[in-house]
Structure 1
Amino acid sequence: MPLQCTLGVDIGTSSSKGVLVDEGGRIVATATLAHDVSRPRAGWVEMDAHVWWSEFVALATEMLVSARSDGLEPEVVAVGVSGMGPCVLLTDENDEPVRAAILYGVDTRAAAQVERLTEELGTAEIVRIGGSHLSSQAAGPKIAWIADEEPEAYARARRLFMPASWLARRLTGAYVLDHQSASQTSPLYDVDAAAWHDPWWRRFAPGIEAPALLWAGDIAGTVTDAAAAETGIPAGTPVIAGTIDAWTEAVSVGAHEPGDLMLMYGTTMFLVATGTETLRTPSMWTTVGAFPGTRNLAGGLATSGALTAWLKDLTGAGYPTLLAEAEASEPGARGLVMLPYFAGERTPILDPDARGVIAGLTLGHGRGDLYRAALEATAMGVRHNVETMRAAGADIRRIVAVGGGTQGALWLQIVSDVTGLVQEVPATTIGASYGAAFLAAAAVSSQKPRIEEWNPMTARVSPDRALAPLYDELFERYLDLYASTRGLVHDLAAGQREHEPQEVRA
């Protein structure tokens, strides 16, 4: 007997993940494909968009084959898509990319365009229309960068995509972008009007057709015959518009209601606070929510899992060993303070030239101390973001942790201890692909599923209040360390750009 399922795929920074889910939210099959991004120059982070589609096809095929090998008869009734962002993929009239896709805030190449657009339009007007100051996270300046620096490529550009909308296009032929993603193309989108700001679109994206706007769970179209032949998904299957992975991940754990904060532990760390009021603050990102009537204040660390992976590779020790040694190191990492800005930093300092700093090292420190200092550094970054959000007026009443990093109890505990926050952990932390599958199910179900039933909370991590004085003091040292080293670090960053290898793989 056929088993009705929804299929969700998320294109992430270091891998693409897929999930096949039945009507009750039970995972029928999963698949993952690792990939690299390209870093051709300092501050550049790119990816070949052809990989996004080829990996979708491979994941869909693998999951359907896996389910059938288990004796099931999966019937895909809807497809959910999700991806990292905001990214800038420009294609020609035949949907062929004119260059590699430029990724989100970890790509800092458009600093000159951020400065120019800000000067031309004025900070107050940019914030009034788009909600946020321009930064490395904004997609608009990256479009301008292509026009300025690669005019031949830009001359061929006709359409703008991000990973989720690119998959929707390849699956259905629809040219759409969801409102949440669009709100991160500052300054091209009007946050309060929830529409493209036509004067600035014509000025800064000339020659590019503005995609139709949908909400994340809206149906973009149905699978074409050609896409069905490649993927094995039946022609005519509905496909949702999808959205950026952090927002889809928030959906996957039910952290998308007013008062919720989603904390995503991944290659980077991402925070999304949801409310109904448009909050504007210079150091965070103001966006439209995944659903009508919601607004978000969002932020992100440029490294988190990337930092722990760097230490693992550097020391040659596996994660279990490093975690055990970090746990043996006392809170405060035996007198170490680390700044986690190894790839610059996004919010709240918005400093692409920030760099990693480790202060207090002695010959007596070991790799466990360093690993604990890294975990505490990311926790300090989370605290810095949360305090900035609350100062801007965010009403944070509930915090939900999600992502691969939630599998490590020590990291979760350190974040709660440093921030003083209780974190709820759901049963399923597979991430954005699961949220995409849920949105797809909701789009086609006569009886709307509830994420609380699909994915209930199963754990709570509470802070050790006895550690509050220690971490309060370390947090002040963390802030002071950045302030006191900023000038020197910026000089070092300038020198690094001059000596950066021409091609570095992430």
Structure 2
Amino acid sequence: MTSSSCNLVCTDSAGEPVCDSLLVSDKRSKRQADRLAQDDSLAELFTNSNFSASASYMFPKICWLSEHEPTVFAETETFGSSNSFLTRRFTGRSVTDYLDAEKFYYDRDAGYPDELLDRLGLDSEQLPDVVQVGTDIGPIDDSVADELGLPSDIRFVVTTYDALAAFWGSGPTEEGDGTNVCGTCSSLRTAMPGTASLDLSGSTIKAQRFARPDILAVGGSNSIEGGLLEWVKSTLYPDEKQGEELFDTMEAEARESSLGAGGVVFLPYLLGERAPFDDPDARGMFFGLERKHGREDLVRAVFESIGFLTRHMVSEIERSNATVETLEAAGGLTRRNFACQIKADVTGKPVLLVEELENTALGCMIITASQAREEDMQSIANEVVDYSRRFEPDPDRHEKYSELYDLFRELYESNKENFKRRADLIERLDEDETGSDRQL
């Protein structure tokens, strides 16, 4: 079983939710995250490169609840993740793995941060128990087995959250095997030995360690990728039948435009960004529009922005002294050959399509098999992961895209303060009208 990380689920003593989950994309705790980042007494906590004072993490969300929803905060017996919530549903125990627990600033030596717990008047027992990835925590409850029609002797093995399960489901068997899970958002991580010396300063790139084998998954997850095409579908094709075949139409129209989308560059930060940089205020923007441009140019600019997002992540991973030799890709976006070829051309890396589209589920199987067979996950991945197609980068297109990528990056940097100014302005206007917070 797996789910996304950074979804805060608040439950009562019976394990029932007391409010809607605060999702990873929920930005309401931005102020609380900023306060944590500026608190000198927490400086040592954030020397851990896997911890971020970001609105997507759990403690900023808990702080926001304590200030804005005190009744919910008081009624909550357990502050958990969606993984620990589902694990409790199956086993009666609120348990998660140590990589998911890092979103609560859990350290494998120090545990949960006592200072933050004390400030909030909480106890570590109100957070999930933490175990190693691949731990067998016992059988599922009889009531669950009866309800789902499962054998009563099924064991429950704790895996990890979706992006890291998909890392294994993409088959990283060699150093520099980059795994790219292309769903609504995108995860990109590369395999490095546990002894690798990395420099993770200046970005939100993480190096998350697995024990069997001793390997680092270096990278992160952005805020949106395949979801950009969903946005294009509903926004630029509102009168078209909204089926899967519409994506074929979008791809065909994008091919009618030229490389560079006729001079249109799209900043794709519709939900802000969390990796390789953290900016909840960043937003989308079409740059360079002229009267000559048509829908095909806008759609191509969005496709190309997906390649630019991937290149930015690859660049920051490589800046950390990790290597990315290939991109082993899976997820819904890989159904679009056009998007896969653009990724190869923009990054200059071969893109290999994982044969199993649902590679997150495959990754969970690999983790579970590792526990059952007492073998390392890399060996099992080598045994079960296959690839259906390979996209090679075109050197000429890569050179042209490199110039466009530089412009793409400069557009964000030159508008960073404008994005913050916009967010502050909208918040003030909204407070003037309603006197309440607005989720940007």
The answer, yes or no, to whether TM exceeds 0.5 is: yes
Does the CA contact (< 8 Å) of 1:143 and 1:205 recur in 2?
Answer: no
Q: Which residue of 2 aligns with 1:196?
A: 112
Q: How many percent of aligned residue pairs carry the same amino acid?
A: 29
Deviation string 1:45-74 (CA, Å, 9 cap, x unpaired) is xxxxxxxxxxxxxxxxxxxxxxxxxxxxxx
Alignment of structure 1 residues 341-352 onto 2, 5 Å: 341-352=269-280
The reply on whether 1:309 has 2:225 as its aligned counterpart is: no
Does the CA contact (< 8 Å) of 1:271 and 1:299 recur in 2?
Answer: yes
Say if 1:340 and 1:240 are closer, same or farther in 2 by CA, change over 3 A: same
Report the Cα offset of residue 503 of structure 1.
Answer: 13
C-alpha separation in 1, matches of 2:406 and 2:388? 34
C-alpha separation in 2, matches of 1:405 and 1:196? 37
Q: Which residue of 1 aligns with 2:59?
A: 140
C-alpha separation in 1, matches of 2:270 and 2:86? 31
Indicate which of 281, 305, 321 corresponds to 1:353.
281
Q: Which residue of 2 aligns with 1:377?
A: 305
The reply on whether 1:460 has 2:390 as its aligned counterpart is: yes
Name structure 1 gaps, 5 residues minimum: 1-80
**Structure 1 SS opposite 2:390:** strand
C-alpha separation in 2, matches of 1:328 and 1:250? 34
Indicate which of 20, 45, 56 corresponds to 1:100.
20
Indicate which of 392, 400, 404 corresponds to 2:320.
392
Indicate which of 134, 153, 158 corresponds to 1:217.
134
**Structure 2 SS opposite 1:417:** helix
Does the CA contact (< 8 Å) of 1:322 and 1:371 recur in 2?
Answer: yes
C-alpha separation in 2, matches of 1:274 and 1:143? 33
The reply on whether 1:478 has 2:399 as its aligned counterpart is: no
Deviation string 1:418-471 (CA, Å, 9 cap, x unpaired) is 111112222112131232233334433478882233221232211110112211
Letter in 2 for 1:196: Y
The reply on whether 1:288 has 2:205 as its aligned counterpart is: no
Deviation string 1:391-422 (CA, Å, 9 cap, x unpaired) is 12223334311111111111011011111111
Alignment of structure 1 residues 5-404 onto 2, 5 Å: 81-104=1-24, 106-121=25-40, 124-129=43-48, 131-186=50-105, 189-190=106-107, 193=109, 195-204=111-120, 206-207=122-123, 209=125, 210-255=127-172, 258-275=175-192, 276=194, 277=196, 279-291=199-211, 293-316=214-237, 317=240, 318-404=246-332
Report the Cα offset of residue 369 of structure 1.
Answer: 1.4
**Structure 1 SS opposite 2:103:** coil
Indicate which of 484, 492, 502 corresponds to 2:422.
492
Report the Cα offset of residue 203 of structure 1.
Answer: 4.2
C-alpha separation in 1, matches of 2:40 and 2:232? 42
Does the CA contact (< 8 Å) of 1:400 and 1:425 recur in 2?
Answer: yes
Report the Cα offset of residue 141 of structure 1.
Answer: 1.4
Letter in 1 for 2:17: P
C-alpha separation in 2, matches of 1:294 and 1:204? 35
**Structure 2 SS opposite 1:96:** coil
C-alpha separation in 1, matches of 2:154 and 2:206? 34
Q: Which residue of 2 aligns with 1:421?
A: 349
Does the CA contact (< 8 Å) of 2:191 and 2:216 recur in 1?
Answer: yes
RMSD: 2.7
C-alpha separation in 1, matches of 2:77 and 2:111? 19
Report the Cα offset of residue 478 of structure 1.
Answer: 0.7
Letter in 1 for 2:176: G
Letter in 2 for 1:206: L
**How many residues are treated as equivalent by the alignment?**
421
Say if 1:123 and 1:476 are closer, same or farther in 2 by CA, change over 3 A: farther
Deviation string 1:178-222 (CA, Å, 9 cap, x unpaired) is 011012223xx226x384344544445714513222223221221
Report the Cα offset of residue 130 of structure 1.
Answer: 5.8
Deviation string 1:260-305 (CA, Å, 9 cap, x unpaired) is 3221111112222333246532321425335453333332322211
Q: Which residue of 2 aligns with 1:451?
A: 381
C-alpha separation in 2, matches of 1:122 and 1:464? 51
Name structure 2 gaps, 5 residues minimum: 241-245
TM-score (norm 2): 0.87
Say if 1:222 and 1:146 are closer, same or farther in 2 by CA, change over 3 A: same
Identify the structure with the greater strand proportion: 1
Letter in 1 for 2:92: G
**Structure 2 SS opposite 1:243:** coil
Q: Which residue of 2 aligns with 1:439?
A: 367
Deviation string 1:141-185 (CA, Å, 9 cap, x unpaired) is 112222222222112222232222222211111221101101222
Report the Cα offset of residue 488 of structure 1.
Answer: 3.0
Letter in 1 for 2:8: V
Letter in 2 for 1:251: W
Letter in 2 for 1:92: D
TM-score (norm 1): 0.76
Name the structure, 1 or 2, with higher relative contact order (CA <8 Å, separation 6+): 1
**Structure 2 SS opposite 1:444:** helix
